[in-house]
Amino acid sequence: MSESTRRVDLRLTIPASAPWREVAAELAVKFAEYAGAPAQEAAGVSRAVADAIAAAGARPRIDFLFSADDEGHVTATVVSTGD
């Protein structure tokens, strides 16, 4: 996948049920790779997404904001859990 040449943000809303949990974690990795993050950081973002989904429990949906800075550092923030 080609890398981005600028700062990028992505907002993602998923149902908090399978198989969407796995899709969100995979998308987090792809986003991190696109932003130029090292493989270890991309895996960390994926784990953070999986942990956030697990913590959401029975909530109907989860809203994430993925952000990457100019150095390729990526964060995944839970914006809402559909309360």
* Residue 28 domain flag: yes
Q: Is residue 64 part of a domain?
A: yes
Q: How long is the chain?
A: 83
- Residue 9 covered by a domain: no
pTM of whole model > 0.85?
no
* pLDDT tens-digit readout, 4-52: 455 678 888 888 667 777 888 888 888 888 888 888 888 888 888 888 8
Residue 4 maps to a domain:
no
* Cα 22 to Cα 54: distance, rounded to the nearest angstrom: 11
Looking at residue 16, its pLDDT comes to: 67
In a domain, 7, yes or no: no
Closest-CA residue to 62 (of 27, 11, 28, 26): 11
What CA–CA distance (Å, rounded) separates 4 from 61? 28
Structural domain harbouring 56: 17-80
Could you give the number of structural domains in the chain?
A: 1
Any domain includes 31 = yes
